[in-house]
Amino acid sequence: MFQDLLGSLAAALAFAAVFYAPGYLLAYAIDLFQFRKMTIGERSLWAIACSFCVAPIAAYLIGRSAGLTGVGWLLSGCTIGTLLLLTRKVSRQGWSRRDIVTTSLVACGWIAFVLLMLVDFQTGHKLYFTVAMADESYRIAFIDAVSRTGVPPANPLYFAGTPAPMRYYYFWYVLAASVVKLGHVTARQAYIASCIWAGFGLLVTVKLYATHFFRWERKQRWIAVSLILVTGADLIPALGNAILQPALNGDIEWWSVDPIDAWPDSLLWVPHHVASVICCLLIFLLLWRTLEPISRATKRWAVVIAAFAAASAVGLSVYVAIGFTLLMLAWLLWVTMKRHIQSGDLWVRSLSAVTLCAVILAPFLYELSGTVLHPNVVAPDASPSGHFFILSVRSMIDAALLTGLPIFASLNRSHPVLLDQSTRLLLLLPGLAMELGVYGAVLVFLLLAKRRRHPIPQNDARDTAIFFSVCGLVLTMFLSSSVISNNDFGYRAVMLPQFFLLLLAADVLGSWWQPGRVPVIAITPSRRRWVYGLLALGIAGFFYGAFLLRAWLPLEMTRPQNGFNELPQDSYQAREAFNVLNQTAPLNAVVSFDPIDRTIGQKSEVMTPDEYFQRMLVMDAGRQMLNAERKCATHFGGNPSECAAMQNATIQLYATPAPGAEWARDFCSRFGAQYLLVSHRDPAWDSKDGWPVSLPVVAQEPGLRILQCSQ
């Protein structure tokens, strides 16, 4: 535990070379928005913002040609150059002591929160993880794959005789792998630090929008920053689930079929998607600032940086980039219809940025095209529709709660799709009300006020924020991705309208709380009750969500019938065994384990213990895995032709009675593995003879063994 704490802090410090130094040097060199005349606080904001825009695509391009070593040299050079510039002149004018103290407290508080949520708690020979490990495991495996195999990385989850290049948006993992090399930390520690810096990036983006989009004063800027921690009204259904379900949800958002995650949740689970959102928001802010009376050179540089940000956004999250593209197109059409005086210039700058982005991103687009050019390489749980997107009503509240009633039995048989979509539409508004909470209430009040005789005060920024909020919600409520069973597009692209809803809530609350300001919407007793009540519910939801993440596993262990009570020991033993393997096995060794979840179908509300155990092995292996999923992970890259034979052979290998050592060696020789893992969860574990007790043991724990099956 202490190793991960110290290593994560060291990685967070190393990330400054990624998300501060490059942007500082770039902004200083081109004097972006008169960067050289800014205070150190303002320069730091733009340094981080510019780094998020250029570092992902720059690291990818350099990594392809010069490897991670080249990326490391570039980042080291940027860091040295930035330190030299900072020692020349550090101005604190305009950055008060109060702001310095507040900023320091916010940064330290966020670091402490991430460490509390993601570092495993240790008591003796037990490690207590949070449910975020379910997604964290794959991201750590991807970071490790980049650090071992370079750019583009090999798919660490599937090996059909030779390494398969990964087909995925992996720019975030290139940056984290660079930190692994720079800071001499583990992939896990680099991932935790990346969540810290994704939070810093979001804080910076909120501050920049508060300053240059809405042009608020100090107090209102901090109101906007504080709202990042305020969730919707998820606490109400989450408590209901905790009471009614036999197993406890490990995340406050899991009450919803297709949730809208609060910002703290997104930052812990999917920092790369949040980073893509940050890039997209910075693209818009850069284009927005070109409407100001600034020099032509500055406008051109703003477009260039926007192009790099667009390229970075695609490599960080394709889904977010697609959602932003659709929203930007709608906004450009809107400003054109409004006959905005600079609409023509906005079109020219936007198209210029898109063209330059396409040129910069060409190598990565060629990589991604492999999925399209090879139709057999798809996700095992892909939709049979054959399309990347489908029109479908978002399922917020489970439609089966109504469609499963006896009264709908005949309609369920004759028109199941019509019934399902109609029920989803009926439940959409209640679901949105729960997910958005105070932000939804503010949006409703603003829309109602615009229709009355005394509309809200005219403000281009406010009108634009309302436009993006409404259009973004409509887009993500009725358009879904269908590549896999999860609606990844809806999950991720909805963060774009979420951001503007946060700004609108800060706009309203700031006008209410600042003396002398005209309220954006009139204060009435009913509005005050709704807004303050939902605000309090959102604050309580944040604390309950944090408690649930950390306390979930200890609470589940009090209910042995659910099968989670052995997971802390399993987690400790997996880490210990793989630490031993790391001392003996080469980096290019291939490890095989049984990915079959034998409890599938027994429980549907939550992930099963076997699923969590599989994620532990994925996270801790630190090696190429033969087949890490119940269904082969060819959607991340690889030839699926060997999948069926590999699955059948794996079932035979781990069956009871276990086959002999020669059979196991033939298995390893056939598929290219060097090490086999067997645990107390496998049927073969209790074999008195066969390969689990006859092959050479490399690492052994009470409930887990790693054996060598070939050289």
110-138 per-position pLDDT tens digit: 999 999 999 999 999 999 999 999 999 99
Position 595 pLDDT exceeds 60:
yes
Q: Where are the alpha helices (DSSP H) in 557-696?
A: 567-584, 609-620, 643-653, 661-671, 691-694
Q: What's the average model confidence in pLDDT over 212-218? A: 90
Q: Which residues are CB-contacts of 470 (< 8 A; sequence separation ≥ 6)?
A: 443, 447, 497
The per-residue pLDDT for 343 is 83
Question: Cα 80 vs. chain centroid, distance in angstroms?
Answer: 30
Q: What's the average model confidence in pLDDT over 289-308? A: 94
Pairing of strands 675-679, 704-708: antiparallel
How many helices and strands, by DSSP H and E, does the chain display? 29, 9
The per-residue pLDDT for 390 is 86
Position 409 pLDDT exceeds 50:
yes
- The residue among 31 and 637 whose pLDDT is bigger is 31
User: Alpha-carbon distance 83 to 706, whole Å?
Assistant: 47
13-65 per-position pLDDT tens digit: 999 999 999 999 999 999 999 999 998 889 999 999 999 999 999 999 999 99
Q: Which residues are CB-contacts of 669 (< 8 A; sequence separation ≥ 6)?
A: 710
Report residue 646 as tokens: 């590999």
Give residue 198's region: left, alpha or beta (phi > 0; psi -120 to 50). Answer: alpha
Q: Where are the alpha helices (DSSP H) in 89-186?
A: 97-118, 133-149, 171-183
Report residue 111 as tokens: 């670091």
Q: CA angle, corner 575, sides to 570 and 581, nearest 5?
A: 125
611-626 per-position pLDDT tens digit: 999 999 999 999 999 9
Contact 280, 496 (CB under 8 A): yes
Q: Which residues are CB-contacts of 591 (< 8 A; sequence separation ≥ 6)?
A: 581, 621, 623, 624, 625, 626, 673, 674, 675, 676, 677, 706
DSSP 228: G
Q: How confident is the model at residue 416 (pLDDT cuts 50, 70, 90)?
A: confident
The per-residue pLDDT for 376 is 46
Contact 618, 677 (CB under 8 A): no
Pairing of strands 126-128, 697-701: unpaired
User: Alpha-carbon distance 664 to 85, whole Å?
Assistant: 60
User: Alpha-carbon distance 555 to 626, whole Å?
Assistant: 34
Position 373 pLDDT exceeds 50:
no
Contact 644, 675 (CB under 8 A): no
- Candidate from 44-58, 191-205, 211-225, 440-454 with smallest mean pLDDT: 440-454
The per-residue pLDDT for 454 is 57
Mean pLDDT of the chain: 89
Contact 620, 152 (CB under 8 A): no
Closest alpha carbon to 57 in 285, 260, 309, 347: 309
User: Alpha-carbon distance 576 to 582, whole Å?
Assistant: 10
Position 90 pLDDT exceeds 60:
no
The per-residue pLDDT for 208 is 96
Q: Which residues are CB-contacts of 528 (< 8 A; sequence separation ≥ 6)?
A: none
As a whole number of angstroms, the longest Cα–Cα distance in the chain is 85
Report residue 679 as tokens: 């645990």
Q: How confident is the model at residue 309 (pLDDT cuts 50, 70, 90)?
A: very high
529-547 per-position pLDDT tens digit: 999 999 999 999 999 999 9
The strand pairing partners of 128, in sequence order, are 121
Q: What's the average model confidence in pLDDT over 300-310? A: 96
Q: What's the average model confidence in pLDDT over 149-172? A: 90
The per-residue pLDDT for 441 is 94
514-526 per-position pLDDT tens digit: 887 888 888 889 9
Contact 574, 704 (CB under 8 A): yes
- The residue among 657 and 341 whose pLDDT is bigger is 657
Per domain, the residue ranges of the chain are 378-548, 567-708
Q: What's the average model confidence in pLDDT over 647-659? A: 90
Pairing of strands 624-625, 697-701: unpaired
- The residue among 621 and 387 whose pLDDT is bigger is 621
User: Alpha-carbon distance 625 to 157, whole Å?
Assistant: 5
The per-residue pLDDT for 386 is 53
Handedness of CA 233, 239, 244, 250 (dihedral sign): positive
The residue type found at 683 is: P
Closest alpha carbon to 592 in 699, 707, 701, 694: 707
Cβ neighbours of 484 (radius 10 Å): 14
The continuous run of DSSP H or E covering 676 comes out as strand 675-679
- Candidate from 2-11, 325-334, 415-424, 465-474 with smallest mean pLDDT: 415-424
User: Alpha-carbon distance 483 to 514, whole Å?
Assistant: 48
Handedness of CA 294, 300, 306, 312 (dihedral sign): negative
Q: DSSP letters along 553-588, please? A: HHHHTT-GGGS-TTHHHHHHHHHHHHHHHHHHS-TT
User: Alpha-carbon distance 514 to 350, whole Å?
Assistant: 37
Contact 19, 79 (CB under 8 A): no
Position 144 pLDDT exceeds 50:
yes
Q: How confident is the model at residue 357 (pLDDT cuts 50, 70, 90)?
A: very high
Question: Cα 158 vs. chain centroid, distance in angstroms?
Answer: 22
The per-residue pLDDT for 602 is 47
The per-residue pLDDT for 380 is 44
- The residue among 177 and 689 whose pLDDT is bigger is 177
The per-residue pLDDT for 605 is 52
Cβ neighbours of 605 (radius 10 Å): 12
The residue type found at 305 is: I
Q: CA angle, corner 56, sides to 51 and 60, nearest 5?
A: 140
Q: Which residues are CB-contacts of 533 (< 8 A; sequence separation ≥ 6)?
A: none
Q: What's the average model confidence in pLDDT over 641-669? A: 91
User: Alpha-carbon distance 506 to 540, whole Å?
Assistant: 18
488-500 per-position pLDDT tens digit: 898 999 999 999 9
Closest alpha carbon to 462 in 511, 495, 532, 516: 511
User: Phi and psi at residue 575, in whole multiples of 5°?
Assistant: -65, -40
What is the percent of the chain with per-residue pLDDT over 70, rounded to a whole number? 94
The per-residue pLDDT for 384 is 44
